[in-house]
Amino acid sequence: QVQVVESGGGLVQAGGSLRLSCAASTSVFSIIPMGWYRQAPGKQRELVARITSAGATNYDDSVKGRFTISRDNARKTLSLQMNSLKPEDTAVYYCNIVVPPPQVWGQGTQVTVSS
């Protein structure tokens, strides 16, 4: 498991942009796949974007074309650029490992998109 600290959330109008950041404290960051998850009120946490150690990315259909995940292995940071935000993107966003299923979570960062 990896300890992480997420930041960058906030309140934004629909159509706006935000950039989330995640600092990870693990010596193996550079070799493990990482992902961004989100949990909306009353819903289960879902994986919305993932990136391999080599930089290959994969997105949930709900964010494809609007969100971009990236990583800096030297700095052990993960980022999520979110453009064209929609009210349905409102959620707490978390970064974490992808496999095995995470057992320990950071505090997350709240993203609120107003219509």
Would you state the pLDDT for residue 4?
Answer: 94
* Nearest to 7, CA basis, from 101, 74, 71, 77: 77
Would you state the pLDDT for residue 1?
Answer: 78
pLDDT per residue as tens digits for the range 2-56: 899 999 999 999 999 999 999 999 889 999 999 999 999 999 999 999 999 999 9
Q: How deeply is 93 buried, as exposed, middle or buried, from its count of CB atoms within 10 A (0-12, 13-18, 19+)? A: buried
* Nearest to 75, CA basis, from 105, 17, 34: 34
> Are the beta carbons of 18 and 7 closer than 8 angstroms?
no
